[in-house]
Structures are given as C-alpha cells and as structure tokens.
Amino acid sequence: METLKGTKISTLTPQELLGRPLNDVERKYAPPKLYLASNEKVPLPIPRSAIVGSRRASPESMRTAGEIAKVLVRKGVIIVSGLAEGIDTAAHKASIEGGGRTIAVLGTPVDRVYPKENFKLQEEIMHRHYAVSQFPIGHRTRPKDFVLRNRTMALLCDASIIVEAGETSGSLHQGWEALRLGRPLFIWSSLMKDSALSWPKKMAQYGAVELDDPEQVLDVLPSSERILEVSP
C-alpha cells in the first residue's frame, strides 16, 4: 500500500459534507466522521452518481463504465466511485478526461493508496476533485473496511450504477445499501440478462432498474441548484 505525503485533510460530519441533516434511515450506518482531502469547497456539489463494479472487469465493461461517466459529466453530474481497479478506475478516469468532476470514496485512510497503481490518480483527485474516507490516519486497513466504504458511498450518492459484478462482488454491498436508503439503483442491462447471476433479479424485486441508456439516470437526479443548505 503506497503512502501519500503532505496531504491537507479536513474532518467533517456526513451532515457537513452533504450540506443537510441526515434522516433516521441514513443515520443508522453513517460514520460519525469523514476525512476529506480536497482543495474544493464543501458541501459536495450535486447531482452525484456512483459508477461501480468488478475489479477484474472485462474490457467491454470498462468501456461501458467510461461511456456512462462521459455522458453523465456532460450533463453536470459528479461521478463517484471507490478508486479500486477495474470499473472504479475507468469511471474516475473517464470523468476527468471528459472535463467533469469526480469523488473517490476510499477504503483506506486518505494518506494511503490502494491499489498502488492508482497513486497518480488518487493524487490528482485529491488536488483537483474530492477524496473521502471514514478511516483516520494510522488506521490499519482490513477487508471489511471496503464493505463499510461501499455503504458510505451509497450514502453520499443520489443514485448508483452497477456495471459489472459477480455473485460475491463488493459492489453488491453498495447496491443493497442504496436500496435500503431508498436511493435509485441502476443495473446495466447485460447483467440483468445474464442467467448465471441471481443478484440482479433479487435487487430488481426491491426496486433496482435495468439500465441501457445512461440518460435514464438523469431523470432521477436532483437539480444542480442546491435548494436547501443546512449547517448542522
């Protein structure tokens, strides 16, 4: 795991980062503190959509994640992902290349980099976008931290999109949490049609929607004009 030096870090509550109070459902799994590495203003800009999926994604799914990100950033949507290999990396890079903004929600403290191949990408996101973690400096990273990260990412997003994921993918934690929070969850159409997978149909029973056109997401996202800003 690589280490970033000299990073300026702010400590905020989820309420401060979102610019509004949490409801009872959101508060259940919300971390008490978040650590932000960014030169940008808070609260986080809206609308925000997560694009997540497999670390070992197929080239086709990587292209799809990038295409979805570029369509959304052209419409002013901020792309959120977890800075993992595969789909996450493709989403972050495409949003930056498309001239948009991105938020990385980390499973490590903000001064650590995982995977190490994303050192430069995380550095760029910290300086020009937003990197968020619920883990303090010095925290020893454990496998379950990435599950907690996905819960927090669902909290910070107005919608989530799963592009590719197997039956044991960590992205499923985000999907179920988005549904629990009552947030829109989109599943890429090839997953819905994959008879080898059971989870897409299960999530559809709880309100997940098949996605075959990225512009479908725009219909459920809030306006970029912040209607209510509350200081906790």
Answer yes or no: is 227 within a domain: no
Band of residue 8 on the pLDDT scale cut at 50, 70, 90: confident
Q: What does pLDDT average to over the chain?
A: 93
pTM: 0.93
Burial (0-12, 13-18, 19+ Cβ within 10 Å), 198:
exposed
Q: Per the domain annotation, does 230 fall within a domain? A: no
Residue 6: what pLDDT? Answer: 59
| d(C-alpha 80, C-alpha 48), whole Å | 7
* Residue 188 placed within a domain: yes
Residue 231 forms part of a structural domain: no
Q: In this predicted structure, what is the pLDDT of residue 97?
A: 98
Residue 122 inside a domain? The answer is yes
- The answer to whether position 228 is within a domain reads no
Which residues span the domain enclosing 189? Answer: 2-220
Q: How confident is the model at residue 230 (pLDDT cuts 50, 70, 90)?
A: very low
Interhelix angle for 87-97 vs 119-128, to 10°? 50
* Backbone torsions φ then ψ of 132, nearest 5 degrees: -125, 140
Contacts of 200 (CB under 8 A, 6+ apart): 187, 191, 192, 194, 208
Q: Which residues are paired to 104 by β-bridges? A: 81, 131
Q: Is residue 22 part of a domain?
A: yes
Asked if residue 195 lies in contact with residue 173, where contact means CB atoms within 8 angstroms, the answer is no
Write the CB contacts of 123 (distance below 8 Å, at least 6 apart in sequence). Answer: 4
Contact predicate 160/175, CB 8 Å: yes
Q: Report the helix count and the strand count for the chain, using DSSP H and E.
A: 9, 11
CATH code, 125: 3.40.50.450
Structural domains of the chain, count = 1
Q: What share of the chain is helix, strand, coil (3-state, %, to 5)?
A: 40, 20, 45
- Does any domain span residue 150? yes
Q: How confident is the model at residue 3 (pLDDT cuts 50, 70, 90)?
A: low
pLDDT tens figures, 133-163: 999 999 999 999 999 999 999 999 999 999 9
- pLDDT for 223 equals 78
Model confidence at 2: pLDDT above 60: no
Q: How far apart are alpha carbons 229 and 42 in whole angstroms?
A: 11
